[in-house]
Amino acid sequence: MVENENSAGANPGIGKVVAVFVILGIVVAGLLFMMGSWLKRSEVKMLSVGQSIPDFSMTSFSGESYRLSDLKSKIILVNIWSSWCTSCDEEALMLQEVWTEVEDSGYYLFLGLDYVDTEKPALAFIQEHGVTYPNGPDIGSNISKMFKIQGVPESFLIGKDGTLKAIQIGAFILSVDVREFLTLAKD
C-alpha cells in the first residue's frame, strides 16, 4: 500500500509540471506567431520611384475635395504628418515657406494628410504653423496605407503623369531640401 500512496502522491506533481509545459508551449507558439506576423509586415515594400500612384481622394478640413486623377496638370507634394509628431513642427514651417513661393505658379499642389490624429489638435497645429496649403484627415489611414508609410513625417512627390517621382522619409532638414525635392518631378 505504501507504493500506491507514493504513486498517487507523485501524480499531482507530474500534472503540475505537464500543465506548466503546456502553458509555456502555448505562450511560445503565440510569440512565434506574433514574430512571424511582424516579420511579414516588415517585408512590405515601399512604393518605388517610377511606380504609378493609384487614384485617391481627400477632403480638406475646410471641405474642399481633391482627387489625384483630377490633378494631372500639377506636380503634387503629399506630406503625411501628425500634430503629435515633434519633427513635423519645423517641417511644417519649411513646407509653408516653399508653398508660399510656388503657390501662384499653379504648377504645384501641396496636400497635407493628417495621420492618426483628431481634428481639434490637427487644426490647432495648422493654425499654429500658419499652414495655408490644403490639409485633411487621412480617414482610416487609407492613403497612408497605400503609400506604405513607415512613420511620420513622410513626403511623396507625384509627377503630372501620376507616377511617383521621389520619396522623403522623415522631416526635411532645410527649406532648400524641399525646393530640391520639387525639382525631381520637373519634366
Q: What is residue 145's DSSP assignment?
A: H
Residue 10 pLDDT exceeds 70: no
Whole-angstrom CA distances from 147 to 51, 78, 106 are 11, 10, 25
pLDDT in tens, 31-69: 666 665 555 554 556 789 999 999 999 999 999 999 999
Model pLDDT, residue 38: 57
pLDDT in tens, 77-128: 999 999 999 999 999 999 999 999 999 999 999 999 999 999 999 999 999 9
CA–CA dist 121, 77 (Å, integer): 23
- Return the minimum-mean-pLDDT range out of 34-48, 123-137, 144-158, 160-174: 34-48
User: Domain 57-183 has what CATH class?
Assistant: alpha beta
